[in-house]
Amino acid sequence: MLRAVATAWVKKIFNFEQKLEWGPHRCRTLAGVCADLDVRLFVPPGRDINDREFVDFLKRSLRPTLGLAIGCLQIFRSDLIGLFDILVNYHNGLLPRYSGLRATSWSVYFAERSTGFTFHRVNEIIDGGNILLQAEIPIAEGDPPGDLDLLKTIKAGEHVGEVLDKMVARDEGLPQGEKRHYFGRNRHEAITTIDDPGALPYAELQRRLFAFGSLNIKVQGAYYPVTRIRPCPPGSLKETRLAIVSEDRIAAKLVRFRHLPFPLYAVYRCITRRAGTDQEKAR
C-alpha cells in the first residue's frame, strides 16, 4: 500500500501532466476482500500456481469444478487445467489479434481505433482457448494505456455475472478464427530497448514512450530507464551527457528516469542496489 501511494505521488510531483490515479480500491488487498466476503484464500508455495503440492491439495481437498483466472501472469500447466470442468481466463486484449503481454500498449502503439478484453477458456496454448465473451472500447487520440486498462477493467466487471452463467452452463465458447498474434516478453524488450537512439526518428521514440511508458535507452555505453524526453536546442547538449540526437537530427534531453529527475533516480538506484546486495548476503 505504501509503495502504491509513493509511486502515485512521485509520478504526480515530477510529472505535472500525470493524473493522480488514486481511489479506495488502491487500499484494498485480495486478502481483505476475501475476508469481507467470508471467502477462503489459499496461496500456493512460492506463489507458484503449478506447484505439485498445491495441485495435489486442490485435487484431494477442494476438488474444484469451475475456475476464473484474473491477473495471473503464470502459465497454467495441464495437471492444473485438468482439475476443472471449465477454467476461464480474463485477458485485457482482443483475441486472437493481441495475445500475450501488454495488449493495451500494443493496441495504442499500432494506432488501433479500439481495444478490448476477452474471457476465454484456458488450454495449454497461451491465450489460445475458445472465447466465451469479448467486448471493445474505442481509443481516442491521446488516450494513455493506463486509462484504457482501467476502463476495460470496469467494463469487464459488468460482465462477470454473464461469464459465470456461461461457466455454470459449461459453455464451450467459440474458437478463435483469425490468425493469432502473440506479444511476449521478448517482443516487449525488443521494442523498448533502444541501443542506438540515433537510428530512430524522434516521433517514433515518443510513440514508443507513450505506448509503453518507459524506454531502456543506451547513452554513452549505459542503459537508462527513461520515462520522459524533451526536445532542446542542439547547443544545450554540451551541458549534459544525458541527451540524444534522433535520426531526423532532433536534439533531446532525457529528463525523467522511472518518473524521477536524475539526481533522485541516482539515489534510488543506490538504495535498490544496496538492498539487493543485502538480500544476496542473507541468502
Find the CATH number of the domain harbouring 118: 3.40.50.170
Same domain, 176 and 198: no
Of 150, 183, 216, which closes a domain? 183
pLDDT, tens digit (0-9, with 9 covering 90-100), for 176-204: 987 889 999 999 999 999 999 999 999 99
Same domain, 51 and 4: no
Number of compact structural domains in the chain: 3
Residue 280 has pLDDT above 70, yes or no: no
Residue 230 has pLDDT above 70, yes or no: yes
Of 183, 202, 236, which closes a domain? 183
Q: Does 188 reside within a domain?
A: no
Distance CA 31, CA 34 (A): 5
Output b/e per residue, 231-264; b: 16+ Cβ within 10 A: ebeeeebeeeebbbebeeebbbbbbbbbbbeeee
Q: Provide the β-strand partners of residue 87.
A: 67
Q: Does 159 reside within a domain?
A: yes
Same domain, 131 and 158: yes
Same domain, 117 and 173: yes
pLDDT, tens digit (0-9, with 9 covering 90-100), for 44-75: 999 999 999 999 999 999 999 999 999 888 99
Same domain, 110 and 175: yes
Q: Provide the residue type at 66 as one letter.
A: L
Q: What is the pLDDT of residue 276?
A: 62
Q: Provide the residue type at 161 as one letter.
A: G
Weakest mean pLDDT among 29-33, 100-104, 206-210: 29-33
Same domain, 64 and 176: yes
Of 161, 183, 205, which closes a domain? 183
Q: What is the pLDDT of residue 164?
A: 97
Distance of CA 33 to the CA centre of its chain: 22
Same domain, 166 and 141: yes
pLDDT, tens digit (0-9, with 9 covering 90-100), for 95-121: 999 999 999 999 999 999 999 999 999
- What percent of the chain is predicted at pLDDT more than 70? 89
**Domain enclosing residue 235, as ranges:** 193-282
